[in-house]
Amino acid sequence: MYLVDYHTHTHCSPDSSAPLANMVRAAQAAGLRELCTTDHCDLQQEDGSPLGDWDWKPILDQFEQAKVPQNRDDFCLLLGIELGGGHTDPQRAQKLLEGVPLDFVIGSVHNLSPAAGGRDFFFLDFQEEALARRTLDDYFDSLLALAPLPCYDTLGHIIYPLRYINGRSGHHITLDPWQEQLDQVLGTVIETGRAIEVNTHNGREVEQWRPILERYRQLGGTRVTLGSDAHKPENVAKGLDRAARLLREIGFSSVTLYRQRQPRQQPL
């Protein structure tokens, strides 16, 4: 099985303290063929305020240093970024990506829309189900705004708010009421030649992806990336073998890889 992890974070993200070299060693120990480092670049900060100055240097320096000692033909380290909230400022999103030798860009939505206050979902209290449903209304509006933009290669963790709505707050909300919006998002991803991500959330979310993947395939989707969302070495690759088996069970025969933001299909 050709296993890759295309969603990982290092100390260049505000919510990780892991050096990239440690993530690389963990990936190699787990038998991964490819690791893509995708640190956070969020146009919406935790409180919803716009991103201030951005400096690529720490990410690029770390990447160059981590590439040198590999000396392995069976492993590839790739440079990526997780671009959050690109739809809130499409011109800046595109500008941020220019002139950087990126292999891969995840497009994510982590926050409420600016009109709804812009707060990061992580900091919302979803004990009231009504708030959870309003949040999902707002979230799908944001996904619909992001989906047609050129500032990403794979649409990140579509089920992301459910981590906090169901996983942390104990609700049992499904995305069924938003199926029409979801179909529009998936259709746009397909039409524009992008991919969707199966994000295992450190191995905690695999089976939850089944309805999304089944619908995506029904609509004609073929491009899927795999990522653990690891923020520390011990979570690199977690759940990816199960995610790959789920893809094959649903009918996908390949996983999508990227080089210089160009996709190619790799048999599972």
| pLDDT digit string, tens, across residues 92-144 | 999 999 999 999 999 999 999 999 999 999 999 999 999 999 999 999 999 99
Q: What pLDDT is attached to residue 259?
A: 98
Say yes or no to pLDDT of 164 above 80.
yes
Query: How far apart are alpha carbons 124 and 95 in whole angstroms?
Result: 30
Q: What pLDDT is attached to residue 45?
A: 94
Q: What pLDDT is attached to residue 248?
A: 98
Tell me the per-residue pLDDT of 173-213, one tens digit each, with 9 for 90 and over.
999 999 999 999 999 999 999 999 999 999 999 999 999 99
Q: What pLDDT is attached to residue 52?
A: 96
Band of residue 67 on the pLDDT scale cut at 50, 70, 90: confident
Q: What pLDDT is attached to residue 72?
A: 73
Say yes or no to pLDDT of 37 above 90.
yes
* CA angle at 266 for the pair 229 and 77, rounded to the nearest 5°: 50
Say yes or no to pLDDT of 71 above 60.
no
Q: What pLDDT is attached to residue 239?
A: 98
- At the topology level, CATH places domain 4-267 in TIM Barrel (3.20.20)
Q: Give residue 216's region: left, alpha or beta (phi > 0; psi -120 to 50).
A: alpha
Q: What pLDDT is attached to residue 1?
A: 87
Query: How far apart are alpha carbons 59 and 81 in whole angstroms?
Result: 9
Structural domain spans, the chain: 4-267
What b/e string do you get for 113-123 counting C-beta neighbours within 10 Å, with b at 16 or more? bbebebbbbee
Contact between 197 and 157 (Cβ < 8 Å): yes
Global confidence as pTM: 0.97
